[in-house]
Homo-oligomer: A and B are copies of this chain.
Amino acid sequence: MKKHLSLLTISLLCLITVANSQTYGLVLHGGAGTITKAGLSKERQNVYETGLQKALDAGYFVLDEGGNAEDAVIAAIRILEDDSNFNSARGSVLNANGAVEMDASIMKGVDLNAGAVAGVTTVRHPIEAATKVMLSSPHVMMSNAGADLFAKEQGLEIMPTSYFITKGSQATLKGVQDRLKEQGSVESEYPDWKFGTVGVAALDKQGNLAAGTSTGGMTNKMHNRIGDSPIIGAGTYANNKTCAVSCTGHGEYFIRLNLAHEVSALMLYKGYDVEKAASFMIHKSLSDMGGSGGLVAMDRKGHISMPFNTPGMFRAYQMSDGRKSVLMFKDEE
């Protein structure tokens, strides 16, 4: 009898250990594009690596402390939004009028709750504005002045226009507009003018997924264009049944393909794993349509996928089982 009891105790302990062994962690991106070793000085590589690592640390800290996946998403994106090297918030590119218009969204896998803002111009952290829409409004999506006003009323930090507009973004806009006027095309000199986004997929100790995305959109976009980043199902999606996804790239294609949601549908209905589903959408569906970009995705077991069909993608991950890396070029793992 004693023997049976100790066997039972051991079995129970094993079960508890398994229950506690939920892998947690996050994967993030800082945009896909023409990111190559030849085109990026060591110094610039270091700058990007430092930014990605800082965001990774902030997100992982939240998860390691037992925080929710969505709070890890917010913590990591806040860092990237403050970093002028990435196309979101402070580092946003400019629209055709020379103004900043920022998009962001967030989604929780546990209850499919979601929030998004499009075309905000004053919020320091658009990802927080999206979160406020999710938690403190009856709506999922708000835009422009209404979203800015709501964010302000919710007590979020508001910044003057000068905070978001840099000499660099103004020079890029002028360059793109001049080339378009002179040559009708800008791809050779500004290959990444349509790109740039930051995003995170996170898995917490409770086994819940969340995803978020934030962007300044594409350089020279028309006034009040909305890209895929604030569209639930296009640029951002999270569902505990499948995965959390954040996309980056030429947003119009991601909207038409419902790309983030389609990754989830392939897992849910076709039984694909996250790698197969995400790779199929980027390397087959997106590529076949002529679109460029990439995504980061994570499933509930902590499997990560980071496909892109551009020369490179800023990306990083850290998991509780020891996996961690900061990457930007192709053929890195």
A binding-site residues for B, Cβ under 8 Å: 107, 112-114, 116, 118-119, 137-147, 149-150, 221-227, 231-234, 237, 251-252, 255-258, 261-262, 265-266, 268-270, 289
Contact = CB atoms under 8 A, between A and B. Distances in A.
Q: In this complex, which of A221, A224, A227 has the most chain B Cβ atoms within 10 angstroms of its Cβ?
A: A224
A142 B224 contact: yes
Stoichiometry, copies per complex:
2
Contacts of A265: 261-262, 265, 268-269
A256 B114 contact: yes
B270 A255 contact: no
B289 A112 contact: yes
The DSSP consensus for interface residues of chain A is mixed
Given A137-B222, A147-B224, A224-B142, A261 B289 contact: no
B256 A140 contact: yes
Given A112-B289, A265-B269, A269-B266, A222 B142 contact: yes
Contact of A145 (B118, B223, B231, B252): B223
A325 B6 CA distance: 72
A139 B252 contact: yes
